Amino acid sequence: MDAELERVLPPADQYPTSIHKAMRYSVFAGGKRLRPILCLETGRLLGGDEQSLLQVGCALELIHTYSLIHDDLPALDNDDLRRGRPTLHRTFGDATAILAGDALLTLSFEVLSAPSLAAKPQLRVIYELSHAIGTRAGMVAGQVVDLETTSSETDAATLEYIHSAKTGAFIRAAVRSGALCAQAGEADLARLTVYGEKIGLAFQIADDLLDVLGSQEALGKAVGKDGRQKKATYPALYGVERSQRIAAELILEACAALEPFGAAAQRLREVAHYLVARTS
């Protein structure tokens, strides 16, 4: 995945160098590449073309990195650390950080629309990702409601909406994009959609828990911010132990959706369990 990202990103010495250095600073900051992995493994499960899957996985990581850059900005979460080093706006300034996020999002669609991707699923994948990061129960929608509910009481339905939109929709889209690249049948696509939805919500609940239980050293970012800012989180609404049970139940439901695939889906099961066992 890193080799593919290296291929599509402009080199650091290409003019204008400031923006290209900033883009690369965040993309190569040591992320887990979770979303590309989900795309790759889902596509491989169904016999998809490896290069097409890498191409879509690359676009997923560019979108994810853009979202982190903007999320860290002073107007949103105002974070100083990301993955153990200063956030992009602390290193390059707010203006360059905004533009670097814009550039990565734009580049992701350049990658997705390149002629080398098989034409038949191309538009479906582009639609899938556009919807997942937009304002109709997508990433931007979740971010907006998250901001609007900070420092106020939040009910269970609103909390689930925030998590499912802000984080879950894009993770589900990563899974579905791999399936779409492999031209999955509707039954397989439906099963994998359930898997993606369940692990997407579980992933964000695990993030909520890490903000309470984790350490800055392990996470590479400040902990305890959700509580200080009175954000809507699962531990705040349900407590730590119940939140852990909810996340574990979601993983079991996700793995149950994979049963028809048998042993071939073992890697996807491993990824699901990793999401709630991780410490960073």
In sequence order, what are the residues at sequence separation of 6 or more whose Cβ sits closer than 8 angstroms to the Cβ of residue 34?
A: 171, 174, 203, 271, 275
Q: Is the pTM of this model over 0.75?
A: yes
> In the chain, where are the structural domains located?
2-277
Average pLDDT, integer, range 127-143: 96
Residue 280, pLDDT score: 85
Topology (CATH) of 2-277: Farnesyl Diphosphate Synthase (1.10.600)
Residue 118, pLDDT score: 67
Q: Is the pLDDT of residue 44 over 80?
A: yes
pLDDT in tens, 71-121: 999 999 999 989 889 999 999 999 999 999 999 999 999 999 988 776 778
Average pLDDT, integer, range 118-145: 93
Give the model's confidence band at 230: pLDDT under 50 very low, under 70 low, under 90 confident, else very high. confident
